[in-house]
Amino acid sequence: MQPSLEKLRKFFRLEHENSYSNTAVIGGLANILNYWEGEARNDNLPEDVVQATVQTLHAYADQAPEQRAEALISLWKQIQDEVPEAAAARKQTASRLPASEPEKAEAPARQGNPVEPPVSEEKPEAVPVVEAPAAASADTPPLPAPQPVPPVHQQADPQKNRPQANPKGKGSGRADSRPGGVTSKRPIALNASLTVLAGVGPKHASMLTRLGLNTLGDMLYNFPRRYDDYSQLKPIRDVFYGQQVTVIGTLTMVDSRQVRGGKMSIIEAVINDGTAGLRLTWFNKPWLINRLKVGEAISVSGTIDQYLGRLVMNSPDWEPVEAENLHTNRIVPIYSLTANVTQLWLRKLMHQVVVYWAPKLTDHLPDAIRQAANLPELGTALLQAHFPDSQEKLKAARQRLAFDEIFFLQTGVLRQRRDYQSVAGRVFEVENAWLETRLSALPFALTNSQKKAIGDIRLDLKSGKPMNRLLQGDVGSGKTVVAALAAAMINQSGAQVAVMAPTSILAEQHYRNFLSLLAGEGGPLKPEQIRLLVGDTAGGEKDEIRAGLADGTIKVVIGTHALIEDPVTFADLQFVVVDEQHRFGVEQRAALRSKGTHPHLLVMTATPIPRSLALTVYGDLDLSVMDDMPPGRQAIETHVLTPRERERAYTLVKGQAASGYQAFIIYPLVEDDGSGETPSPLLAATQEHERLQKEVFPHLKLGLLHGRMKPDEKDAVMLAFRDRKYDVLISTTVVEVGVDVPNATVMMVEGANRFGLAQLHQLRGRVGRGEAQSYCLLIPDHEDAAENERLQAMAETNDGFILAERDLQQRGPGEFLGTRQAGYATSLKMASLSDIPLIEKAREQAQALFARDPDLKNPENALLSEALGRFWGSTKGDVS
Ligand code: ADP
Ligand code: MG
């Protein structure tokens, strides 16, 4: 069929679905005539068909629905009479129009008809969601039928499938296209391609692709970046300067003039709403002169400005008041754009898509859950999230959509957890006496949290299931010794342990700790059974370590990602420890694990997370929280200084150095804004190192450490600092992670406003590790930034959990949770992980559901199961 007729058919059909409400096209069906006439002539349609169409559509808006139905049907009949191609599609279209035969008699006509929404019997599965994209063939009307073409054998005899169609009433929601029927609840193809949408050709589709919008589902879930609230209509008399308003009035004057020698044109108009007049001005939009007509009513939205003492509105959005007030007079969504896509065009398209499709979505959330959580239906939520009727409805909509995300996340991790536990883990049991001996060999008594964590791990190891435990403890809480003791429990029966740390400095530090904890005098291991494997371990030594791991003579290997390089194999790897786990990607952790058969896993993090959040994001892992610190630590004194007070900081550093202590001075990476050339990250640390050495601390020894140095250079500097060869270490944040220098008492952070709270807290954790009073000095790079809320929070508390919550609120979870969260970033569009009440609600529901139907096998959870699959589709299985 000719494309222009195809379009007509599409819109007529849509009109029918919409009960002839003249909403198939935004602004009314007649709007298509702007372009349709030209296309129709291009298609060589008979002139009287073109004329009849033009007349019918022009008259359409003013008719009652019955008249409209009649008009469209007779127009289509005329078209079929005159255009053979349209006649071929006769049955299909006729059957959709109201005058057609009763529902049952239609069934045979459906055969081979890809246009008709398939009734459920055409897809006998229990799940009434259609996932196949619309066939792109020219016979398939784009809108609204991105249903799959039923397989031929089913089409051939739909009656045959009928008996199994509605055993549970499943199909009832689909029989919605019957004349006058309510159009709702038909499962739709979220993955239908965008070219099926009215007004979207291949060219538009490629523009949308650049916005990441490839399917109908992408569109529905393409939420506005923000909203402009024009919903507060005001009498013009009451508006005031600076207000953002929508007013409606009649144009009493429209004028255009040229200024700046014709370089610029100005359109001026006045509208009056009976209470007062308001002057409107548009710049460089000369075409408006033909569209704004004195005497016509329009609505305008914008900000009230002032010109020569009068209130004016500059370049307001406007539209005739008969229209749907889509762009004004309501809360208007603002979408992200890309080149060649205008807000107006996209918004119209979104409106068309959302208004049509959202109500037709079948909610994947079972009613019971939705009601228990007191949430609106999915269709309503999507509609309101795009084109909200009020702020309250918008809020409810966002809650609903956020709930889905958290709920999916939680359901996914619960499954993950079950999967972990579905395999056997080797049992490792230790005697109390053995543990006593190990504990008494330590240079200190364990804190209560450490004891509790050890107890948790001990239970895990004898459970017969692989351990999957997250050990969460603030910096300095003493996680290493817990990991070392756990390792000893494994080694005790001869099995192997791998410990992976994000940097070689940290790996080396762990190596030393493990050596002294496990291979000291009377320790369970010999020093040569514990080895360090990092990127720049010498080639010969690497070979030797690999051989030792492969034949089982080496019991503990500590290293960096070098551990997961291919040639490393283990004789019997039973325990994997990942330190600072947020620094690793999912794949890296999985890679290390895969070197053993279901080894026990302990991941450690110093990133404090509110418990409910941890249970959601890390719900697949068991959680041990270490919330008390080894004794004897003094709270670190934190001060926020202005740049002018920097001298005070230097004085403190000098004083501490004179007493034999050491200091860190941290610099952010800053953008070079000097030359006007392409900005490049500038290492402030390098420049400052020179200046400080010459001008500020000429009598002290200053070291320099930054990420651009080679790993062995970094290690050398770090080790020299630890061995007190430097008084002050000038560094970037590479020292952030886990390095232990108990003699350091000052952490001075320049450009502190550039760091997140969690990161600042980590940095602060580098000091205060010994007995001496330690200091953290935060210097933002502007005077006024000294008021920076985040920095004050640092000064107010040493509690990582409190800071974590503030960081979450201020920067969002992406920054905060690191790599793990990054994987979800695309999935979590609505949910704020700082909305703890919502998280708890979703978690409760997910748990209850999981307890009832873990595999979502019950029919009422079928849709949910599919939605869950979509949500997790792009995310890897192993999320630990
Ligand atoms: P983190 O949890 O940040 O990894 P570490 O394991 O590096 O902390 O421990 C920090 C410091 O505290 C180390 O010097 C460690 O030896 C020491 N430490 C650990 N546990 C105790 C304890 N129970 N009593 C005293 N000092 C401890
Ligand atoms: Mg640590």
Domain architecture of the chain: domains with CATH:
1-134 (no CATH), 226-334 (2.40.50.140), 444-463+478-605 (3.40.50.300), 637-797 (3.40.50.300)
Burial 255-281 (b: 16+ CB within 10 A, else e): ebeeeeeeeebbbebbbebeeebbbbe
User: Rounded CA gap, 460 and 435, in Å?
Assistant: 16
Cα dihedral value 38, 40, 43, 48, nearest 10: -120
Ligand that comes closest to the CA of residue 513 = 1
User: Rounded CA gap, 527 and 524, in Å?
Assistant: 10
CB atoms within 10 A of CB 64: 9
User: Rounded CA gap, 6 and 114, in Å?
Assistant: 14
Task: Give the per-residue pLDDT at 481.
Answer: 96
User: Can you spell out the DSSP letters for 555-589?
Assistant: -EEEESGGGGSTT---SSEEEEEESSGGGS-HHHH
User: Rounded CA gap, 579 and 604, in Å?
Assistant: 5
Ligand 1 geometric centre to CA of 603 (Å): 17
Cβ atoms of residues 487 and 554 within 8 Å: no
User: Rounded CA gap, 838 and 820, in Å?
Assistant: 21
DSSP letter (8 states) at residue 237? G
Sign of CA pseudo-dihedral 119, 121, 125, 131: negative
User: Rounded CA gap, 414 and 619, in Å?
Assistant: 6
Residue type, 554: I
Q: Which of 697, 701, 691 is nearest to 651 (CA)?
A: 697
Helix 479-491 and helix 432-440: axis angle, to 10°? 140
Task: Decide whether any atom of ligand 1 lies within 6 Å of the 722 Cβ.
Answer: no
Cβ atoms of residues 757 and 803 within 8 Å: yes
- The single residue listed with the structure tokens 């929280």 is 625
Helix (H) and strand (E) counts for the chain?
A: 31, 23
- Token readout for 512 is 């030393």
Closest protein CA for atom 27 of ligand 1: 630
Which residues lie below 8 Å from residue 432, measured CB to CB, with a gap of 6+?
A: none
CB atoms within 10 A of CB 16: 23
DSSP letter (8 states) at residue 2? -
556-559 and 530-533 strand pairing: parallel
Task: Decide whether any atom of ligand 1 lies within 6 Å of the 472 Cβ.
Answer: no
Ligand that comes closest to the CA of residue 472 = 1
Task: Decide whether any atom of ligand 1 lies within 6 Å of the 478 Cβ.
Answer: yes
User: Can you spell out the DSSP letters for 805-872?
Assistant: HHHHHHHHHHHHHTHHHHTTTTT-SS--TT-HHHHHHHHHHHHHHHHH-TT--SGGGHHHHHHHHHHH
Which residues lie below 8 Å from residue 674, measured CB to CB, with a gap of 6+?
A: none
Sign of CA pseudo-dihedral 713, 719, 720, 721: positive
Task: Decide whether any atom of ligand 1 lies within 6 Å of the 767 Cβ.
Answer: no
DSSP letter (8 states) at residue 679? -
Q: Give the H or E element holding residue 41.
A: helix 33-42
Ligand 2 geometric centre to CA of 604 (Å): 8
Ligand 2 geometric centre to CA of 713 (Å): 22
- Token readout for 599 is 């080894």
Helix (H/G/I), strand (E/B), else coil: 672 = coil
**pTM confidence score:** 0.59
Task: Decide whether any atom of ligand 1 lies within 6 Å of the 769 Cβ.
Answer: yes
Q: What is the mean pLDDT of each run of 10 residues along the chain (880 residues)?
A: 84 80 74 74 80 82 80 86 76 39 32 30 28 31 33 33 35 33 47 74 82 87 79 81 84 89 87 90 87 86 87 86 54 80 83 88 90 94 93 92 88 82 92 93 94 96 93 88 96 95 86 92 90 90 95 96 88 94 74 91 82 72 87 86 89 94 88 47 78 93 87 82 94 71 93 83 86 91 68 86 73 47 50 74 88 87 84 48
Task: Decide whether any atom of ligand 1 lies within 6 Å of the 800 Cβ.
Answer: no
The runs of H, that is alpha helices, within 519-661 are 539-551, 586-593, 611-617, 646-658
Task: Give the per-residue pLDDT at 179.
Answer: 31
Mutate to test the pocket of ligand 1, among 503, 627, 740, 743 (most ligand atoms within 8 A of CB): 740
Q: Which atom of ligand 1 is nearest to the CA of 482?
A: 6
Q: Give the H or E element holding residue 500.
A: strand 496-500
Task: Decide whether any atom of ligand 1 lies within 6 Å of the 287 Cβ.
Answer: no
Ligand 2 geometric centre to CA of 506 (Å): 8
Closest protein CA for atom 19 of ligand 1: 478
Task: Decide whether any atom of ligand 1 lies within 6 Å of the 764 Cβ.
Answer: no
DSSP letter (8 states) at residue 463? S
Mutate to test the pocket of ligand 1, among 450, 477, 634, 767 (most ligand atoms within 8 A of CB): 477
Cβ atoms of residues 178 and 97 within 8 Å: no
Task: Decide whether any atom of ligand 1 lies within 6 Å of the 608 Cβ.
Answer: no
Q: Which atom of ligand 1 is nearest to the CA of 447?
A: 23
Mutate to test the pocket of ligand 1, among 450, 480, 581, 743 (most ligand atoms within 8 A of CB): 480
- Token readout for 843 is 């978690």
862-867 LR contacts (CB < 8 Å, sep 24+) = 862/126, 862/127, 862/129, 863/127, 863/128, 863/129, 863/187, 863/362, 863/363, 863/364, 864/364, 864/365, 864/366, 865/127, 866/127, 866/129, 866/131, 866/364, 867/364, 867/404, 867/408
Helix (H/G/I), strand (E/B), else coil: 801 = helix
Task: Decide whether any atom of ligand 1 lies within 6 Å of the 481 Cβ.
Answer: yes
Ligand that comes closest to the CA of residue 626 = 1
Cβ atoms of residues 176 and 184 within 8 Å: yes
Q: Which of 772, 771, 667, 662 is nearest to 720 (CA)?
A: 662
Task: Give the per-residue pLDDT at 880.
Answer: 35
Which residues lie across from 282 on neighbouring strands? Answer: 267
User: Rounded CA gap, 619 and 609, in Å?
Assistant: 12
Cβ atoms of residues 10 and 89 within 8 Å: no
DSSP letter (8 states) at residue 499? E
Phi, psi of 622 (to 5 degrees): -80, 155
Task: Decide whether any atom of ligand 1 lies within 6 Å of the 750 Cβ.
Answer: no
Task: Decide whether any atom of ligand 1 lies within 6 Å of the 485 Cβ.
Answer: no
Ligand that comes closest to the CA of residue 478 = 1
Q: Which atom of ligand 1 is nearest to the CA of 742?
A: 14
207-214 LR contacts (CB < 8 Å, sep 24+) = 207/338, 207/340, 207/341, 208/341, 210/338, 210/339, 210/341, 211/336, 211/337, 211/338, 211/341, 211/346
Closest protein CA for atom 17 of ligand 1: 478
317-320 and 728-731 strand pairing: unpaired
Ligand that comes closest to the CA of residue 473 = 1
Residues with CB under 5 A from ligand 2 (ion): 738
Task: Decide whether any atom of ligand 1 lies within 6 Å of the 447 Cβ.
Answer: yes
Task: Decide whether any atom of ligand 1 lies within 6 Å of the 444 Cβ.
Answer: yes
User: Rounded CA gap, 541 and 547, in Å?
Assistant: 10
Ligand that comes closest to the CA of residue 445 = 1
Task: Decide whether any atom of ligand 1 lies within 6 Å of the 479 Cβ.
Answer: yes
Residue type, 352: Q
Task: Decide whether any atom of ligand 1 lies within 6 Å of the 737 Cβ.
Answer: no
Task: Decide whether any atom of ligand 1 lies within 6 Å of the 740 Cβ.
Answer: yes
Closest protein CA for atom 22 of ligand 1: 630
Task: Decide whether any atom of ligand 1 lies within 6 Å of the 446 Cβ.
Answer: yes
Cβ atoms of residues 594 and 608 within 8 Å: no
